[in-house]
């Protein structure tokens, strides 16, 4: 692996704390977030160490709520050569916000992030991949606000998210615009599409499944993969939410202790880079095809 002709894949971190995940939203009120134990700072420092040791750069899609409270952390991420992008204000899903609420959400998040780190935000990832068939206005709003790309679509069916009809690889959703959407990686297996770019697929299943999926994308499809994970996924010491539904707890707490060693393998087995650079290459490729 790591040969020169293989595509450079997109490496991304969705920066949110353990209490902000979709799995716990029914049991942890947004109002209480400010009172809960902060783990994101410690976990991001660990991710920066890991990336630095491996010599890779990536993109940190950060909640505005987090950026506002951690300006020093944001400046450090940017100073180490990583891209800072937006994950929205407080993890509300796009299809729940509506067009106007969405415009306000991403403007507020962007201001908080840019104020914190002093670097312009060009990329966006929707909370829980919530740009789908219900949000035909979302890309237009992003382009209007000057975003260059989004990585917010999961082209699959899943119990929490998914837009089955969306393309598997980068596409221009707006006619006459360079704006590009880069969906999260899927693999095909036994006639089905699987979300293979992170989440439970990576953390819960043996590492070999992810290696197989990314090899399929890089090799058979000859396209870059997009991978994501969260700071809380490398943190076995995070506070436990005892009153959450069993299914949510299973999904959240499985294999936290082995995540870091899996990540090290993944980073070593493939080529990785920032999402903005991937977006620029994908936009150029789409133009070349259209010409």
Positions that interact with Zn ion (CB under 5 A): 14, 16, 127
Q: Residue 31: CB partners within 8 Å, gap ≥ 6? A: none
Least distance to Zn ion, CB of residue 22, Å: 7
Strand duo 192-195 + 186-189: pairing = antiparallel
Residue number of the CB closest to Zn ion reads 14
Half-sphere exposure of 206 (CA within 13 A, CB side): 2
Q: Which is nearer to Zn ion, 24 or 280 (CB)?
A: 24
Least distance to Zn ion, CB of residue 16, Å: 5
Least distance to Zn ion, CB of residue 61, Å: 8
CA distance 185 to 193: 10
Beta carbons of 74 and 137 less than 8 angstroms apart: no
Structure tokens at 5: 């002709």
Q: Which is nearer to Zn ion, 61 or 147 (CB)?
A: 61
Q: Which is nearer to Zn ion, 106 or 283 (CB)?
A: 106
Q: Which is nearer to Zn ion, 9 or 86 (CB)?
A: 86
Q: Which is nearer to Zn ion, 152 or 210 (CB)?
A: 152
CA distance 112 to 258: 33
Least distance to Zn ion, CB of residue 65, Å: 11
Q: What is the DSSP string of 80-98?
A: TT-EEEE--SS---HHHHH
CA distance 133 to 163: 6
Query: Running DSSP on this structure, what letter comes out for residue 31?
Result: G
Least distance to Zn ion, CB of residue 160, Å: 11
């Amino acid at each position: 692996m790591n040969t020169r002709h293989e595509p450079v894949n997109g490496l991304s971190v969705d920066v949110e704390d353990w209490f902000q995940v979709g799995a716990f939203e029914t049991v942890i009120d947004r109002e209480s977030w400010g009172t809960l134990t902060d783990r994101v700072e410690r976990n991001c420092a660990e991710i920066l160490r890991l990336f630095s040791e491996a010599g890779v750069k990536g993109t940190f899609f950060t909640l505005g709520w987090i950026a506002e409270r951690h300006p020093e952390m944001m400046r450090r991420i940017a100073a180490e050569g990583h891209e800072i992008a937006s994950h929205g204000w407080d993890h509300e899903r796009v299809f729940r916000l509506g067009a106007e609420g969405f415009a306000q959400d991403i403007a507020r998040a962007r201001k908080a992030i840019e104020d914190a780190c002093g670097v312009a935000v060009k990329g966006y990832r929707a909370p829980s991949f919530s740009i789908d068939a219900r949000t035909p206005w979302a890309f237009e709003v992003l382009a209007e606000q000057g975003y260059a790309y989004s990585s917010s679509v999961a082209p699959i069916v899943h119990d929490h998210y998914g837009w089955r009809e969306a393309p598997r690889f980068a596409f221009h959703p707006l006619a006459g615009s360079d704006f590009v959407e880069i969906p999260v990686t899927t693999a095909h297996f036994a006639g089905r599409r699987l979300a293979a770019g992170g989440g439970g697929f990576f953390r819960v299943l043996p590492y070999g499944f992810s290696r197989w999926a990314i090899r399929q994308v890089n090799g058979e499809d000859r396209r870059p993969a997009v991978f994501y994970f969260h700071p809380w996924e490398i943190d076995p010491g995070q506070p436990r939410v005892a009153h959450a539904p069993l299914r949510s707890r299973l999904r959240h707490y499985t294999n936290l202790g082995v995540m870091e060693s899996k990540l090290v393998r993944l980073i070593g087995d493939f080529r990785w880079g920032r999402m903005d650079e991937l977006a620029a290459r994908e936009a150029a490729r789409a133009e070349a095809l259209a010409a």
